[in-house]
Amino acid sequence: MDLNGKRGLSNSKKFQKEYKVTLNNLTKGSGLSTDKVNLTLYSLRNFINKYNSLQDPDYLATNNAVVQSLLLIFGVITNSHFIKNINNTNNILIRAKIEVFEAKNIPRHSIYFQFQHRFQSDAFKYSQTQLGLGYRFRFLKKKTFSVYANVLAATYNFNKQIITFFDIDVFFRKKISKNGFTVPFIFGVGADFRITNHSFITLSYNELLALFLNNKDNF
């Protein structure tokens, strides 16, 4: 980091532990506080842009980090293999994901928020609405496609199920509702294929395995 005639600052990836002392010395008299400046490129860049703007009214901030997002919506037929499903019955599931990242281009690391709903059927009277938070890592990242792994780390589930049974020739039907927070660590893999500057086709296997859920002997 250097000061050039006190007209502008430039940031470097090599920072000293005394970065706040250095910033204070370089920007003395500007009235800027370094109390909330973190040792990250994003925080340092913002501070430098503020200082440069004070020194030069015509200064244009560059390389500002921008929070961007991707929206993924799809529907599938699934046997809900992490749920007790004796007959391995398939139900419809819809899912929406919002992936959030801080970059001009899609980075290797990102987080995503997920909403999904499993619909009950006549054969399997179970439904679930789920809110989830996950992490995604793109281990192969090209201009036209990327391959990634993700983990659904935390979920809150709204479960409903209707069970039927006989007891002494009497037919019973019971409705069960159960809500709860889980940390399942469900791992999946996928690939994005760019079709325009702002859209992709995605192939994914979202529930490959889980650390803290049993697959109930179904695949």
What range does the domain containing 45 cover? Answer: 2-55
Assigned domain for 155 exists: yes
User: What confidence category does residue 107 fall into, taking pLDDT thresholds of 50, 70 and 90?
Assistant: confident
We report the CATH number of the domain holding residue 153 as: 2.40.160
Within this chain, do residues 92 and 167 fall inside the same structural domain, yes or no?
A: yes
Within this chain, do residues 44 and 77 fall inside the same structural domain, yes or no?
A: no
Within this chain, do residues 109 and 176 fall inside the same structural domain, yes or no?
A: yes
What mean pLDDT is predicted for residues 3-10? 45
Contact 118, 162 (CB under 8 A): no
Tally the C-alpha atoms within 13 A of residue 12's C-alpha that lie toward its C-beta: 8
Contact 71, 95 (CB under 8 A): no
User: What confidence category does residue 8 fall into, taking pLDDT thresholds of 50, 70 and 90?
Assistant: very low
- SS3 assignment, position 182: strand
Within this chain, do residues 166 and 75 fall inside the same structural domain, yes or no?
A: yes
* pLDDT of 82 over the 70 cut: yes
Within this chain, do residues 29 and 113 fall inside the same structural domain, yes or no?
A: no
Going by C-alpha positions, the residue among 207, 205, 201 that lies closest to residue 155 is 207
* pLDDT of 133 over the 90 cut: yes
Asked which of 28, 55, 82 is the last residue of a domain, the reply is 55
Within this chain, do residues 184 and 77 fall inside the same structural domain, yes or no?
A: yes
Assigned domain for 215 exists: no
* pLDDT of 4 over the 70 cut: no
Assigned domain for 218 exists: no
Give the pair of three-digit tokens for residue 163: 């069970």
Going by C-alpha positions, the residue among 83, 213, 76, 93 that lies closest to residue 153 is 213
The better pLDDT of the pair 168, 122 is held by 122
Within this chain, do residues 22 and 47 fall inside the same structural domain, yes or no?
A: yes
State how many domains the chain has.
2
What mean pLDDT is predicted for residues 42-64? 76
pLDDT at 21: 82
Listed range (91-100, 104-113, 166-175) with the worst mean pLDDT: 166-175
Instruction: Report which secondary-structure segment, H or E, holds 94.
Output: strand 91-102
Within this chain, do residues 123 and 77 fall inside the same structural domain, yes or no?
A: yes
* pLDDT of 180 over the 70 cut: yes
Within this chain, do residues 22 and 120 fall inside the same structural domain, yes or no?
A: no
Assigned domain for 184 exists: yes
Summarised one tens digit per residue, pLDDT across range 153-164 is: 999 999 999 887
Which stretches within the chain are classed as H helix?
A: 19-26, 41-55
Within this chain, do residues 152 and 180 fall inside the same structural domain, yes or no?
A: yes
Listed range (90-104, 156-170, 181-195) with the worst mean pLDDT: 156-170
The better pLDDT of the pair 100, 8 is held by 100
User: What confidence category does residue 64 fall into, taking pLDDT thresholds of 50, 70 and 90?
Assistant: low
Assigned domain for 61 exists: no
pLDDT at 1: 40
Assigned domain for 60 exists: no
What mean pLDDT is predicted for residues 116-123? 93
Within this chain, do residues 195 and 97 fall inside the same structural domain, yes or no?
A: yes
Give the pair of three-digit tokens for residue 98: 């919002």
Contact 99, 114 (CB under 8 A): no
Tally the C-alpha atoms within 13 A of residue 20's C-alpha that lie toward its C-beta: 7
Count the neighbouring beta carbons within 10 Å of the beta carbon of residue 59. Answer: 14
User: Position of tokens 């159960």?
Assistant: 178
- SS3 assignment, position 152: strand
Asked which of 30, 55, 80 is the last residue of a domain, the reply is 55
Give the pair of three-digit tokens for residue 6: 């006190």
Assigned domain for 166 exists: yes
Give the pair of three-digit tokens for residue 77: 């037929």
Within this chain, do residues 134 and 183 fall inside the same structural domain, yes or no?
A: yes
Instruction: Provide the residue type at 214 as one letter.
Output: N
- In sequence order, the 6+-apart residues with CB closer than 8 A to the CB of 52 are 7, 8, 9, 59, 61
pLDDT at 17: 55
